[in-house]
Amino acid sequence: MIFLTAFWDLVVESAPWLLAGYLLAGIIKQVIPDRWIKGQLAQPGTGSVVKAAFIGAPLPLCSCGVIPAALGIRKAGASKGATSSFLVATPETGVDSISFSYAVLGPIFALCRPIGAILSAVTAGLLVNSMDREEDEIAETEAAAGHCCASERQEEEQMPPLGERFVNAIAYGYGAMIADTAKWLAIGLGAAALITVLVPQSFFLQWGNGLMAMIVMVIVGLPMYICATASTPVAAGFLFAGISPGAALVFMLTGPATNIATMGVIREQMGTRSLIAYLVGVIGAAIACGLLLNELYEWFGWPLQLSAMVHGESWSWWRHGLAVVLTALVLRVWIQPLFTQRGRLAESA
């Protein structure tokens, strides 16, 4: 019963951001021309990775809500590195989490968090690109030959009216995109609920304030679902209990950017090598930022500025309603084929 309560709380917490993410994915795929996305994010060099980090950083999407949006830009032509950069920067920070960080943790964390998010996003994206030279060669060959120009002009000519594209965006986002991510979304939220029930907050504190505390937070937070905003009061709780600012920052960077759902989708859509590079980039950059923040706090003697706030004590009715909608859309992925199969059997009989 405790597990089911924790699982439903995660569904309620993530539902608005997931539904927003699926809609954004549909808009990216159906409304925004593929030509524009390819022009900004298709090249496998540093420029597209940096652009993706700055595009994703202000978006208020959670660690699961970013998955459909990232798949949308990937299918529209973004490189693996740019897609990975977007996957890291978007859930690690956002306009909502920055303001919340300022209110709960003070101006230092409100500044360090987005800087750390962009650095870890760029690091992960560049590592993913370096692990997949084959895609680089294909992109460079196509760019040199002008291979895609004719198809892009044809795409513009065949593009339907704007209103129809928005209708198609809704159908695509809440149809095909949910079907692509439903399995890993369910697994990820289930694992996160299990960790929430089994791992107490005091577990982190026994490892002290140094590098080991950061590594333990990475290991436990790796499969965990938590959005950037929700991770803020959790980090404040760790700081109240005596953990170092750097370890708290590591939690806020790795928790939102790494979970089972994200890792499963990356492996399925971009391959095992890209997943390894993604994790190395996120974890390595987060720990480096955490160690640097500890040094800065010690060097300048900055005081901790914490406000006691409780996040998610109760959820409003509209969030429960959105959670029901999300659950129905996910269940449809598995239930609808059963009715289709039954109908075919009936026709053949």
- Picking from 2-6, 244-248, 323-327, which range would have the lowest pLDDT averaged per residue? 2-6
pLDDT at 46 over 90: no
The per-residue pLDDT for range 104-163, each reduced to its tens digit, is 788 899 899 999 999 999 999 999 988 766 555 555 444 444 444 444 455 455 667 878
- The average pLDDT across 181-187 equals 74
What pLDDT, in 10s, does the model give residues 264-282? 888 888 888 999 999 999 9
| Burial class, 246, CB count within 10 angstroms (exposed 0-12 / middle 13-18 / buried 19+) | buried
Q: Structure pTM? A: 0.68
SS3 330: helix
- Residue 38 in contact with residue 77, Cβ under 8 Å? yes
Burial of 150 (C-beta count, 10 Å sphere; 0-12/13-18/19+): exposed
Give just the sign of the alpha carbon dihedral 58, 91, 249, 226.
positive
